[in-house]
Structure 1
Protein backbone atom coordinates (compact mmCIF):
# COMPACT_ATOMS: atom_id res chain seq x y z
CA UNK A 1 0.00 0.00 0.00
CA UNK A 2 3.05 2.25 0.28
CA UNK A 3 2.95 3.09 -3.41
CA UNK A 4 -0.65 4.29 -3.20
CA UNK A 5 0.15 6.43 -0.16
CA UNK A 6 2.99 7.98 -2.16
CA UNK A 7 0.61 8.63 -5.07
CA UNK A 8 -1.82 10.39 -2.74
CA UNK A 9 0.93 12.53 -1.23
CA UNK A 10 2.21 13.54 -4.67
CA UNK A 11 -1.32 14.41 -5.74
CA UNK A 12 -1.71 16.58 -2.63
CA UNK A 13 1.53 18.38 -3.48
CA UNK A 14 0.53 18.78 -7.10
CA UNK A 15 -2.70 20.57 -6.28
CA UNK A 16 -0.98 22.70 -3.64
CA UNK A 17 0.92 24.43 -6.47
CA UNK A 18 -2.28 25.98 -7.84
CA UNK A 19 -2.38 28.70 -5.19
CA UNK A 20 -4.02 31.47 -7.21
CA UNK A 21 -6.72 29.14 -8.56
CA UNK A 22 -7.39 27.86 -5.03
CA UNK A 23 -7.64 31.37 -3.58
CA UNK A 24 -9.92 32.48 -6.43
CA UNK A 25 -12.14 29.46 -5.94
CA UNK A 26 -12.39 30.02 -2.18
CA UNK A 27 -13.32 33.67 -2.81
CA UNK A 28 -16.00 32.60 -5.29
CA UNK A 29 -17.46 30.08 -2.83
CA UNK A 30 -17.50 32.77 -0.13
CA UNK A 31 -19.40 35.19 -2.36
CA UNK A 32 -21.95 32.52 -3.27
CA UNK A 33 -22.21 31.68 0.42
CA UNK A 34 -23.40 35.20 1.23
CA UNK A 35 -25.85 35.14 -1.69
CA UNK A 36 -27.30 31.82 -0.56
CA UNK A 37 -27.50 33.00 3.05
CA UNK A 38 -29.74 35.85 1.89
CA UNK A 39 -31.98 33.37 0.07
CA UNK A 40 -32.06 30.90 2.96
CA UNK A 41 -32.79 33.60 5.55
CA UNK A 42 -35.79 34.69 3.49
CA UNK A 43 -36.96 31.11 3.02
CA UNK A 44 -36.61 30.16 6.68
CA UNK A 45 -38.27 33.44 7.72
CA UNK A 46 -41.33 32.38 5.74
CA UNK A 47 -41.13 28.72 6.77
CA UNK A 48 -39.50 28.43 10.23
CA UNK A 49 -38.22 24.94 10.97
CA UNK A 50 -38.35 23.90 7.30
CA UNK A 51 -37.08 20.35 6.90
CA UNK A 52 -36.34 20.14 10.63
CA UNK A 53 -33.58 22.77 10.34
CA UNK A 54 -33.55 25.95 12.38
CA UNK A 55 -31.99 29.12 10.98
CA UNK A 56 -28.52 28.31 12.38
CA UNK A 57 -28.64 24.85 10.79
CA UNK A 58 -29.69 26.28 7.44
CA UNK A 59 -26.88 28.86 7.45
CA UNK A 60 -24.37 26.23 8.54
CA UNK A 61 -25.55 24.04 5.66
CA UNK A 62 -24.77 26.89 3.23
CA UNK A 63 -21.19 27.35 4.38
CA UNK A 64 -20.45 23.64 4.65
CA UNK A 65 -21.95 23.16 1.21
CA UNK A 66 -19.76 25.86 -0.31
CA UNK A 67 -16.69 24.48 1.41
CA UNK A 68 -17.31 20.91 0.28
CA UNK A 69 -18.28 21.41 -3.37
CA UNK A 70 -14.71 21.10 -4.67
CA UNK A 71 -13.30 18.54 -2.18
CA UNK A 72 -16.25 16.21 -2.81
CA UNK A 73 -16.19 16.88 -6.57
CA UNK A 74 -19.86 17.79 -7.06
CA UNK A 75 -18.98 19.56 -10.31
CA UNK A 76 -16.63 16.76 -11.29
CA UNK A 77 -12.96 16.71 -10.34
CA UNK A 78 -9.75 17.26 -12.24
CA UNK A 79 -8.54 13.73 -11.52
CA UNK A 80 -11.53 11.90 -12.99
CA UNK A 81 -11.86 14.37 -15.86
CA UNK A 82 -8.22 13.56 -16.66
CA UNK A 83 -9.00 9.85 -16.53
CA UNK A 84 -11.86 10.31 -18.99
CA UNK A 85 -9.58 12.28 -21.29
CA UNK A 86 -6.89 9.60 -21.07
CA UNK A 87 -9.44 6.96 -22.10
CA UNK A 88 -10.59 9.13 -25.01
CA UNK A 89 -7.06 9.93 -26.25
CA UNK A 90 -5.62 6.46 -25.74
CA UNK A 91 -3.13 7.51 -23.04
CA UNK A 92 -4.91 5.08 -20.71
CA UNK A 93 -2.66 2.44 -22.27
CA UNK A 94 0.23 3.89 -20.24
CA UNK A 95 -1.81 3.53 -17.04
CA UNK A 96 -2.59 -0.10 -17.86
CA UNK A 97 1.13 -0.87 -18.27
CA UNK A 98 1.92 0.33 -14.75
CA UNK A 99 2.42 -2.43 -12.12
CA UNK A 100 -0.43 -0.95 -10.09
CA UNK A 101 -4.18 -1.37 -9.93
CA UNK A 102 -5.98 1.18 -12.11
CA UNK A 103 -8.83 1.75 -9.63
CA UNK A 104 -6.55 2.12 -6.60
CA UNK A 105 -4.16 4.39 -8.53
CA UNK A 106 -6.87 6.89 -9.43
CA UNK A 107 -8.56 6.59 -6.02
CA UNK A 108 -5.24 7.57 -4.42
CA UNK A 109 -4.84 10.49 -6.80
CA UNK A 110 -8.36 11.69 -6.05
CA UNK A 111 -7.99 11.37 -2.29
CA UNK A 112 -4.80 13.46 -2.41
CA UNK A 113 -6.65 16.12 -4.41
CA UNK A 114 -9.64 16.05 -2.07
CA UNK A 115 -7.55 16.36 1.08
CA UNK A 116 -5.82 19.49 -0.21
CA UNK A 117 -9.10 21.03 -1.35
CA UNK A 118 -10.73 20.19 1.98
CA UNK A 119 -7.98 21.61 4.17
CA UNK A 120 -7.26 24.77 2.17
CA UNK A 121 -10.20 25.67 -0.02
CA UNK A 122 -12.93 24.07 2.07
CA UNK A 123 -12.00 25.73 5.36
CA UNK A 124 -11.86 29.31 4.06
CA UNK A 125 -15.58 29.85 3.31
CA UNK A 126 -16.57 28.16 6.58
CA UNK A 127 -14.23 30.41 8.54
CA UNK A 128 -15.67 33.55 6.92
CA UNK A 129 -19.21 32.33 7.50
CA UNK A 130 -18.47 31.61 11.16
CA UNK A 131 -17.15 35.13 11.64
CA UNK A 132 -20.32 36.71 10.25
CA UNK A 133 -23.11 34.30 11.29
CA UNK A 134 -23.93 32.17 14.30
CA UNK A 135 -23.22 28.72 12.92
CA UNK A 136 -23.63 25.26 14.42
CA UNK A 137 -20.46 23.30 15.24
CA UNK A 138 -20.07 19.72 16.49
CA UNK A 139 -19.42 19.22 20.18
CA UNK A 140 -17.27 16.38 21.45
CA UNK A 141 -14.33 14.40 20.09
CA UNK A 142 -16.49 11.50 18.89
CA UNK A 143 -18.66 13.83 16.83
CA UNK A 144 -15.62 15.37 15.18
CA UNK A 145 -14.28 11.88 14.41
CA UNK A 146 -17.64 10.97 12.87
CA UNK A 147 -17.55 14.14 10.76
CA UNK A 148 -14.02 13.35 9.54
CA UNK A 149 -15.02 9.77 8.72
CA UNK A 150 -18.14 10.96 6.92
CA UNK A 151 -16.13 13.37 4.79
CA UNK A 152 -13.64 10.68 3.71
CA UNK A 153 -16.51 8.32 2.88
CA UNK A 154 -18.24 11.11 0.95
CA UNK A 155 -15.15 11.60 -1.21
CA UNK A 156 -14.98 7.86 -1.90
CA UNK A 157 -18.67 7.68 -2.87
CA UNK A 158 -18.19 10.62 -5.22
CA UNK A 159 -15.04 9.07 -6.67
CA UNK A 160 -16.77 5.75 -7.31
CA UNK A 161 -19.46 7.42 -9.36
CA UNK A 162 -17.05 9.73 -11.20
CA UNK A 163 -14.71 6.83 -11.96
CA UNK A 164 -17.57 4.92 -13.61
CA UNK A 165 -18.44 8.00 -15.67
CA UNK A 166 -14.82 8.27 -16.83
CA UNK A 167 -14.66 4.57 -17.65
CA UNK A 168 -17.77 4.85 -19.81
CA UNK A 169 -15.42 6.20 -22.47
CA UNK A 170 -14.27 2.63 -23.10
CA UNK A 171 -17.67 1.91 -24.63
CA UNK A 172 -19.06 5.25 -25.84
CA UNK A 173 -15.73 6.67 -27.07
CA UNK A 174 -16.15 10.05 -25.34
CA UNK A 175 -17.29 10.36 -21.72
CA UNK A 176 -17.87 14.12 -21.79
CA UNK A 177 -21.58 13.71 -22.46
CA UNK A 178 -21.88 11.42 -19.46
CA UNK A 179 -19.98 14.00 -17.39
CA UNK A 180 -22.69 16.58 -18.13
CA UNK A 181 -25.41 14.10 -17.16
CA UNK A 182 -23.51 13.31 -13.95
CA UNK A 183 -23.26 17.03 -13.16
CA UNK A 184 -27.04 17.45 -13.37
CA UNK A 185 -27.68 14.40 -11.18
CA UNK A 186 -25.05 15.40 -8.63
CA UNK A 187 -26.31 18.97 -8.43
CA UNK A 188 -29.91 17.94 -7.77
CA UNK A 189 -29.58 14.85 -5.59
CA UNK A 190 -26.58 15.84 -3.46
CA UNK A 191 -28.24 18.80 -1.76
CA UNK A 192 -26.32 21.43 -3.67
CA UNK A 193 -29.45 23.27 -4.83
CA UNK A 194 -31.43 22.84 -1.58
CA UNK A 195 -31.06 20.57 1.45
CA UNK A 196 -32.69 17.26 0.62
CA UNK A 197 -34.63 17.42 3.90
CA UNK A 198 -36.89 20.10 2.39
CA UNK A 199 -37.90 17.88 -0.55
CA UNK A 200 -41.49 16.68 0.02
CA UNK A 201 -42.92 13.16 0.05
CA UNK A 202 -41.52 10.41 -2.13
CA UNK A 203 -39.21 12.80 -3.98
CA UNK A 204 -37.37 13.53 -0.76
CA UNK A 205 -37.25 9.86 0.23
CA UNK A 206 -35.89 8.89 -3.18
CA UNK A 207 -33.31 11.71 -3.21
CA UNK A 208 -32.05 10.78 0.26
CA UNK A 209 -31.62 7.13 -0.82
CA UNK A 210 -29.35 7.91 -3.80
CA UNK A 211 -25.54 7.75 -3.67
CA UNK A 212 -25.36 11.50 -4.31
CA UNK A 213 -27.04 12.13 -0.95
CA UNK A 214 -24.05 10.38 0.66
CA UNK A 215 -21.67 12.94 -0.85
CA UNK A 216 -23.03 16.20 0.58
CA UNK A 217 -26.30 15.91 2.52
CA UNK A 218 -25.24 13.04 4.78
CA UNK A 219 -21.87 14.43 5.97
CA UNK A 220 -23.46 17.83 6.62
CA UNK A 221 -26.23 16.18 8.62
CA UNK A 222 -23.56 14.34 10.62
CA UNK A 223 -22.02 17.74 11.38
CA UNK A 224 -25.43 19.12 12.39
CA UNK A 225 -26.47 16.00 14.30
CA UNK A 226 -29.63 15.81 12.19
CA UNK A 227 -29.43 12.27 10.79
CA UNK A 228 -32.82 10.57 11.28
CA UNK A 229 -31.32 7.18 12.22
CA UNK A 230 -28.31 8.55 14.04
CA UNK A 231 -24.67 8.96 13.04
CA UNK A 232 -24.01 5.22 12.86
CA UNK A 233 -26.72 4.61 10.28
CA UNK A 234 -25.48 7.58 8.26
CA UNK A 235 -21.96 6.18 8.09
CA UNK A 236 -23.30 2.73 7.20
CA UNK A 237 -25.36 4.31 4.42
CA UNK A 238 -22.22 5.88 2.97
CA UNK A 239 -20.20 2.69 3.40
CA UNK A 240 -22.89 0.67 1.66
CA UNK A 241 -22.82 2.90 -1.39
CA UNK A 242 -19.01 2.81 -1.44
CA UNK A 243 -19.04 -0.98 -1.55
CA UNK A 244 -21.64 -1.02 -4.33
CA UNK A 245 -19.92 1.62 -6.45
CA UNK A 246 -16.39 0.25 -6.02
CA UNK A 247 -17.50 -3.31 -6.76
CA UNK A 248 -19.20 -2.11 -9.95
CA UNK A 249 -16.12 -0.01 -10.73
CA UNK A 250 -13.85 -3.05 -10.31
CA UNK A 251 -16.12 -5.11 -12.56
CA UNK A 252 -16.14 -2.35 -15.17
CA UNK A 253 -12.35 -2.08 -14.98
CA UNK A 254 -11.96 -5.82 -15.51
CA UNK A 255 -14.34 -5.91 -18.47
CA UNK A 256 -12.87 -2.77 -20.03
CA UNK A 257 -9.28 -3.97 -19.86
CA UNK A 258 -10.03 -7.39 -21.34
CA UNK A 259 -11.32 -6.03 -24.59
CA UNK A 260 -10.16 -2.48 -25.26
CA UNK A 261 -10.31 -0.27 -28.31
CA UNK A 262 -7.81 2.49 -27.66
CA UNK A 263 -8.96 5.74 -29.22
CA UNK A 264 -6.19 7.69 -30.90
CA UNK A 265 -3.60 4.96 -30.96
Structure 2
Protein backbone atom coordinates (compact mmCIF):
# COMPACT_ATOMS: atom_id res chain seq x y z
CA UNK A 1 0.00 0.00 0.00
CA UNK A 2 2.85 2.38 0.86
CA UNK A 3 4.41 1.75 -2.54
CA UNK A 4 1.11 2.50 -4.28
CA UNK A 5 0.72 5.71 -2.29
CA UNK A 6 4.21 6.79 -3.28
CA UNK A 7 3.34 6.13 -6.91
CA UNK A 8 0.17 8.21 -6.58
CA UNK A 9 2.09 11.09 -4.99
CA UNK A 10 4.74 10.90 -7.69
CA UNK A 11 2.09 11.14 -10.42
CA UNK A 12 0.52 14.11 -8.62
CA UNK A 13 3.94 15.76 -8.42
CA UNK A 14 4.44 15.26 -12.14
CA UNK A 15 1.00 16.66 -12.89
CA UNK A 16 1.78 19.74 -10.83
CA UNK A 17 5.20 20.12 -12.41
CA UNK A 18 3.92 19.83 -15.96
CA UNK A 19 1.81 22.97 -15.61
CA UNK A 20 4.22 24.81 -13.32
CA UNK A 21 6.70 24.73 -16.21
CA UNK A 22 4.64 27.31 -18.11
CA UNK A 23 4.20 30.39 -15.88
CA UNK A 24 3.40 32.58 -18.89
CA UNK A 25 0.30 30.53 -19.59
CA UNK A 26 -0.76 30.99 -15.97
CA UNK A 27 -0.44 34.78 -16.21
CA UNK A 28 -2.50 34.86 -19.40
CA UNK A 29 -5.07 32.59 -17.80
CA UNK A 30 -5.33 34.80 -14.71
CA UNK A 31 -5.99 37.83 -16.91
CA UNK A 32 -8.64 36.03 -18.97
CA UNK A 33 -10.35 34.55 -15.91
CA UNK A 34 -10.45 37.96 -14.26
CA UNK A 35 -11.92 39.74 -17.29
CA UNK A 36 -14.65 37.15 -17.70
CA UNK A 37 -15.26 37.27 -13.96
CA UNK A 38 -16.02 40.99 -14.19
CA UNK A 39 -18.34 40.42 -17.15
CA UNK A 40 -20.25 37.62 -15.44
CA UNK A 41 -20.48 39.51 -12.14
CA UNK A 42 -21.92 42.64 -13.76
CA UNK A 43 -24.44 40.59 -15.75
CA UNK A 44 -25.63 38.77 -12.63
CA UNK A 45 -25.80 41.97 -10.58
CA UNK A 46 -28.12 43.43 -13.21
CA UNK A 47 -30.69 40.81 -12.14
CA UNK A 48 -30.75 42.33 -8.66
CA UNK A 49 -31.76 45.85 -9.68
CA UNK A 50 -35.43 45.09 -9.06
CA UNK A 51 -35.24 42.25 -6.52
CA UNK A 52 -33.27 41.23 -3.46
CA UNK A 53 -32.92 37.50 -4.18
CA UNK A 54 -32.88 35.34 -7.30
CA UNK A 55 -32.98 31.56 -7.06
CA UNK A 56 -32.20 31.71 -3.35
CA UNK A 57 -29.08 33.89 -3.76
CA UNK A 58 -28.78 37.53 -2.72
CA UNK A 59 -26.46 39.87 -4.64
CA UNK A 60 -23.45 39.14 -2.43
CA UNK A 61 -23.93 35.38 -2.75
CA UNK A 62 -24.33 35.74 -6.52
CA UNK A 63 -21.06 37.60 -7.07
CA UNK A 64 -19.30 35.21 -4.69
CA UNK A 65 -20.71 32.38 -6.80
CA UNK A 66 -19.21 33.99 -9.91
CA UNK A 67 -15.73 34.44 -8.48
CA UNK A 68 -15.55 30.99 -6.90
CA UNK A 69 -16.70 29.62 -10.26
CA UNK A 70 -13.89 31.48 -12.02
CA UNK A 71 -11.44 30.04 -9.50
CA UNK A 72 -12.69 26.52 -10.18
CA UNK A 73 -12.82 26.85 -13.97
CA UNK A 74 -9.41 25.34 -14.72
CA UNK A 75 -9.31 23.36 -11.50
CA UNK A 76 -12.19 21.05 -12.39
CA UNK A 77 -11.42 21.39 -16.13
CA UNK A 78 -14.55 19.85 -17.67
CA UNK A 79 -13.53 20.16 -21.32
CA UNK A 80 -10.47 20.34 -23.55
CA UNK A 81 -8.65 17.44 -21.84
CA UNK A 82 -7.59 14.74 -24.32
CA UNK A 83 -4.57 13.15 -22.63
CA UNK A 84 -5.87 9.57 -22.72
CA UNK A 85 -7.35 9.94 -26.21
CA UNK A 86 -4.00 11.15 -27.54
CA UNK A 87 -2.19 8.19 -25.96
CA UNK A 88 -4.71 5.82 -27.51
CA UNK A 89 -4.27 7.42 -30.95
CA UNK A 90 -0.45 7.39 -30.79
CA UNK A 91 -0.25 3.88 -29.36
CA UNK A 92 1.47 5.03 -26.17
CA UNK A 93 -1.39 3.47 -24.21
CA UNK A 94 0.25 0.09 -24.88
CA UNK A 95 3.23 1.18 -22.78
CA UNK A 96 0.90 2.35 -20.01
CA UNK A 97 -0.77 -1.07 -19.90
CA UNK A 98 2.44 -2.90 -18.96
CA UNK A 99 3.25 -0.57 -16.07
CA UNK A 100 2.55 -1.74 -12.50
CA UNK A 101 -0.07 0.97 -11.87
CA UNK A 102 -3.35 1.00 -13.81
CA UNK A 103 -3.40 3.78 -16.44
CA UNK A 104 -6.54 5.36 -15.01
CA UNK A 105 -5.11 5.45 -11.51
CA UNK A 106 -1.92 7.04 -12.81
CA UNK A 107 -3.93 9.57 -14.82
CA UNK A 108 -6.07 10.43 -11.78
CA UNK A 109 -2.99 11.10 -9.66
CA UNK A 110 -1.58 13.27 -12.44
CA UNK A 111 -4.88 15.15 -12.72
CA UNK A 112 -5.04 15.86 -8.99
CA UNK A 113 -1.58 17.42 -9.25
CA UNK A 114 -2.77 19.49 -12.21
CA UNK A 115 -5.80 20.64 -10.20
CA UNK A 116 -3.63 21.61 -7.23
CA UNK A 117 -1.51 23.82 -9.46
CA UNK A 118 -4.51 25.49 -11.07
CA UNK A 119 -6.38 26.27 -7.85
CA UNK A 120 -3.28 28.01 -6.48
CA UNK A 121 -1.99 29.83 -9.56
CA UNK A 122 -5.07 30.15 -11.80
CA UNK A 123 -7.84 30.18 -9.20
CA UNK A 124 -6.84 32.21 -6.16
CA UNK A 125 -5.48 35.32 -7.97
CA UNK A 126 -8.72 36.11 -9.89
CA UNK A 127 -10.71 35.44 -6.72
CA UNK A 128 -8.60 37.95 -4.79
CA UNK A 129 -9.21 40.54 -7.52
CA UNK A 130 -12.93 39.83 -7.30
CA UNK A 131 -12.82 40.39 -3.54
CA UNK A 132 -11.26 43.81 -4.12
CA UNK A 133 -14.06 45.06 -6.37
CA UNK A 134 -17.20 43.17 -5.35
CA UNK A 135 -18.98 42.26 -2.09
CA UNK A 136 -17.54 38.74 -2.05
CA UNK A 137 -18.08 36.96 1.26
CA UNK A 138 -16.03 34.19 2.79
CA UNK A 139 -17.21 31.30 4.98
CA UNK A 140 -16.98 32.22 8.65
CA UNK A 141 -16.67 28.67 10.01
CA UNK A 142 -13.68 26.33 9.76
CA UNK A 143 -16.05 23.39 9.22
CA UNK A 144 -17.41 25.03 6.07
CA UNK A 145 -13.89 25.58 4.72
CA UNK A 146 -13.08 21.91 5.34
CA UNK A 147 -16.31 20.79 3.68
CA UNK A 148 -15.56 23.04 0.70
CA UNK A 149 -12.06 21.59 0.27
CA UNK A 150 -13.40 18.02 0.48
CA UNK A 151 -16.10 18.92 -2.02
CA UNK A 152 -13.51 20.47 -4.32
CA UNK A 153 -11.42 17.28 -4.38
CA UNK A 154 -14.54 15.23 -5.08
CA UNK A 155 -15.49 17.67 -7.85
CA UNK A 156 -12.13 17.11 -9.53
CA UNK A 157 -12.56 13.33 -9.27
CA UNK A 158 -16.08 13.43 -10.75
CA UNK A 159 -14.82 15.69 -13.54
CA UNK A 160 -11.87 13.39 -14.20
CA UNK A 161 -14.00 10.31 -14.70
CA UNK A 162 -16.41 12.27 -16.90
CA UNK A 163 -13.45 13.32 -19.07
CA UNK A 164 -12.19 9.73 -19.20
CA UNK A 165 -15.54 8.64 -20.64
CA UNK A 166 -15.24 10.88 -23.68
CA UNK A 167 -11.52 10.10 -24.03
CA UNK A 168 -11.94 6.32 -24.22
CA UNK A 169 -14.19 6.79 -27.23
CA UNK A 170 -10.79 6.91 -28.93
CA UNK A 171 -10.67 3.11 -28.80
CA UNK A 172 -13.51 3.09 -31.33
CA UNK A 173 -12.84 6.24 -33.38
CA UNK A 174 -9.79 8.22 -34.43
CA UNK A 175 -11.19 11.62 -33.40
CA UNK A 176 -12.96 12.29 -30.09
CA UNK A 177 -13.24 16.06 -30.45
CA UNK A 178 -16.91 15.90 -31.40
CA UNK A 179 -17.71 13.84 -28.32
CA UNK A 180 -15.64 16.20 -26.18
CA UNK A 181 -17.44 19.28 -27.54
CA UNK A 182 -20.87 17.75 -26.97
CA UNK A 183 -19.91 16.74 -23.44
CA UNK A 184 -18.50 20.20 -22.78
CA UNK A 185 -21.69 21.93 -23.88
CA UNK A 186 -23.86 19.73 -21.67
CA UNK A 187 -21.46 20.04 -18.72
CA UNK A 188 -21.30 23.83 -19.09
CA UNK A 189 -25.07 24.08 -18.95
CA UNK A 190 -25.90 21.55 -16.25
CA UNK A 191 -22.91 22.03 -13.93
CA UNK A 192 -24.07 25.45 -12.81
CA UNK A 193 -20.96 27.18 -14.14
CA UNK A 194 -22.76 29.59 -16.47
CA UNK A 195 -25.57 30.32 -14.01
CA UNK A 196 -26.66 28.51 -10.83
CA UNK A 197 -28.93 25.54 -11.49
CA UNK A 198 -31.49 27.08 -9.12
CA UNK A 199 -31.96 29.88 -11.70
CA UNK A 200 -33.30 27.31 -14.18
CA UNK A 201 -37.00 26.60 -14.71
CA UNK A 202 -38.08 23.80 -12.37
CA UNK A 203 -38.23 21.18 -15.12
CA UNK A 204 -34.73 22.00 -16.41
CA UNK A 205 -33.29 22.18 -12.88
CA UNK A 206 -34.70 18.70 -12.20
CA UNK A 207 -32.95 17.36 -15.30
CA UNK A 208 -29.67 19.02 -14.31
CA UNK A 209 -29.78 17.61 -10.78
CA UNK A 210 -30.28 14.12 -12.20
CA UNK A 211 -26.84 14.37 -13.83
CA UNK A 212 -23.36 14.34 -12.27
CA UNK A 213 -22.53 17.83 -13.50
CA UNK A 214 -23.75 19.90 -10.52
CA UNK A 215 -21.33 17.84 -8.40
CA UNK A 216 -18.48 19.33 -10.44
CA UNK A 217 -19.26 23.04 -9.97
CA UNK A 218 -22.54 23.83 -8.21
CA UNK A 219 -21.96 21.72 -5.08
CA UNK A 220 -18.59 23.13 -3.95
CA UNK A 221 -19.72 26.69 -4.71
CA UNK A 222 -23.01 26.24 -2.84
CA UNK A 223 -21.09 25.02 0.20
CA UNK A 224 -18.77 28.03 -0.02
CA UNK A 225 -21.53 30.66 -0.32
CA UNK A 226 -23.77 29.00 2.28
CA UNK A 227 -26.55 28.00 -0.11
CA UNK A 228 -26.05 24.50 1.32
CA UNK A 229 -25.46 24.40 5.06
CA UNK A 230 -25.76 22.23 8.15
CA UNK A 231 -26.78 18.59 7.61
CA UNK A 232 -27.44 19.34 3.93
CA UNK A 233 -23.66 19.59 3.42
CA UNK A 234 -23.31 15.92 4.33
CA UNK A 235 -25.98 15.02 1.80
CA UNK A 236 -24.24 17.08 -0.88
CA UNK A 237 -20.90 15.36 -0.21
CA UNK A 238 -22.53 11.92 -0.26
CA UNK A 239 -24.06 12.76 -3.64
CA UNK A 240 -20.62 13.71 -4.95
CA UNK A 241 -19.13 10.47 -3.62
CA UNK A 242 -21.92 8.48 -5.26
CA UNK A 243 -21.28 10.14 -8.63
CA UNK A 244 -17.53 9.66 -8.28
CA UNK A 245 -18.03 5.93 -7.69
CA UNK A 246 -20.62 5.56 -10.47
CA UNK A 247 -18.56 7.41 -13.07
CA UNK A 248 -15.38 5.70 -11.87
CA UNK A 249 -16.91 2.26 -12.41
CA UNK A 250 -18.28 3.32 -15.80
CA UNK A 251 -14.90 4.73 -16.83
CA UNK A 252 -13.02 1.61 -15.72
CA UNK A 253 -15.48 -0.72 -17.46
CA UNK A 254 -15.41 1.28 -20.70
CA UNK A 255 -11.62 1.58 -20.62
CA UNK A 256 -11.16 -2.16 -20.06
CA UNK A 257 -13.66 -2.88 -22.85
CA UNK A 258 -11.64 -0.69 -25.19
CA UNK A 259 -8.40 -2.41 -24.17
CA UNK A 260 -9.92 -5.83 -24.93
CA UNK A 261 -10.93 -4.55 -28.36
CA UNK A 262 -7.40 -3.26 -28.90
CA UNK A 263 -5.84 -6.57 -27.89
CA UNK A 264 -8.22 -8.65 -30.03
CA UNK A 265 -7.34 -6.53 -33.05
CA UNK A 266 -3.64 -6.94 -32.32
CA UNK A 267 -3.07 -3.26 -31.40
From 16, 40, 45, give the equivalent of 1:41. 45
Match of 1:251 in 2: 253
CA distance in 2, matches of 1:99, 1:261: 18
Tell me, yes or no, if the aligned pair for 1:71 and 1:118 is still in contact at 8 Å.
yes
SS in 1 for 2:172: helix
Could you say if the C-alpha distance between residues 137 and 203 of structure 1 is closer, same or farther in structure 2, counting changes exceeding 3 Å?
same
Match of 2:54 among 50, 53, 57: 50
CA distance in 2, matches of 1:110, 1:76: 13
Q: Following the alignment from structure 2 to structure 1, what is the Cα–Cα distance between the partners of residues 103 and 187?
A: 24
Q: Cα distance, 1:14 vs. partner?
A: 1.6
CA distance in structure 2 between the partners assigned to 1:113 and 1:262 by the alignment: 34
Distance in structure 1 (CA, Å) of the matches to 2:69 and 2:210: 19
Distance 1:243 1:60, change over 3 A: same
How many residues align structurally? 261
State the 4+ residue runs in structure 1 displaced beyond 2 angstroms. 74-77
Name the counterpart of 2:164: 163
Aligned to 1:102: 103
Aligned to 1:99, what secondary structure does the other structure show? coil
- Stretch moving more, 37-46 or 239-248: 37-46
Structure 1: stretches of 5+ with no match in the other structure: none
- TM-score normalized by the length of structure 1: 0.94
Q: Partners in 2 of 1:253 and 1:242 — Cα distance?
A: 16
Whether 2:113 is the aligned partner of 1:120: answer no
List alignment gaps of at least 5 residues for structure 2.
none
Q: Is the 8 A contact 1:187 1:193 kept in 2?
A: yes
- Residue 70 (str. 1) matches residue 71 (str. 2): no
Give TM-score scaled by structure 2 length: 0.93
